[in-house]
Amino acid sequence: MNAYPGRHTENPKRICGDAKGGASSKARALEPLETADRAGERGALPFAEQFALWAMRLWVAGQRGQSVEHALEGAFRRLHQPQARRRLELFMLSLAHGAIRPIRLWPPCAGPVSDDEARLLDLLRYSQAGEKFTPALLCRSFLRPRASAVAGVLGADFADCLARAGLRLPVTGEPQDV
């Protein structure tokens, strides 16, 4: 069952990481992509998922040269989980270094949720549910096998920080607070 109705699945035109941009390989693996206007898709997610998605997207924007450290630190401080920023960073670095293709992450305020973003949210969701093997398997389409296992562990650490802050990402079929 699709947990993200109306999810954007088209292959959008890339706007970052071209030869002229000089982006690092880390930033290229997690490059933001141009999106069509599909307002409401991200907004339909529960707050915990919106926050996790925003944090991952914002981290990528920071790798592209935008000043985002203060926003991320402030957000995690308000959740009383300042260590979550480091957990997010380790998780995202594992994705960047283990990618076998560019991972589709939209800009921070974009409306649609890409298939890759949905998988990353699922990884966090299943990690919070206590699954040990499912999270690592979810990212095999864009990560090397060993990197997928590492991302599963580091994603679980980040998901645990979110859970301790009261941000629960329920497994599909569980009631969700919007």
Question: Looking at per-residue confidence, does 82 or 29 come out higher?
Answer: 82
Beta-bridged to residue 143, according to DSSP, are 99
pLDDT bracket for residue 173 (50, 70, 90) = low
Q: How confident is the model over 117-142, as a mean pLDDT?
A: 91
Span of 10-14, 57-61, 77-81, 140-144 with lowest mean pLDDT: 10-14
Domain ranges of the chain: 25-164
CA separation for the pair 177, 86 (Å, rounded): 27
pLDDT at 29: 56
pLDDT tens-digit readout, 32-86: 434 333 333 777 789 999 999 999 999 999 999 999 999 999 999 999 999 999 9
CA separation for the pair 99, 147 (Å, rounded): 8
Question: Looking at per-residue confidence, does 173 or 96 come out higher?
Answer: 96
CA separation for the pair 54, 67 (Å, rounded): 15
Share of the chain above pLDDT 70, in %: 74
pTM of the model: 0.74
pLDDT at 41: 75
Beta-bridged to residue 33, according to DSSP, are 14
Please check whether residue 91 is in contact with residue 156, taking contact to mean a CB–CB distance below 8 angstroms.
no
Q: Please check the confidence at residue 172 and state whether its pLDDT lies above 50.
A: yes
CA separation for the pair 108, 56 (Å, rounded): 8
Backbone angles phi, psi at 125, to 5 degrees: -60, -50
| SS3 state of residue 14 | strand
Question: Looking at per-residue confidence, does 128 or 31 come out higher?
Answer: 128
| Tokens 């980040």 found at | 158
Task: Report CA 106 to chain centroid distance, whole Å.
Answer: 10
Summary mean pLDDT of the chain: 79
Q: How confident is the model over 103-116, as a mean pLDDT?
A: 91
10 phi-psi bin (left φ>0, alpha ψ -120 to 50, beta other) = beta
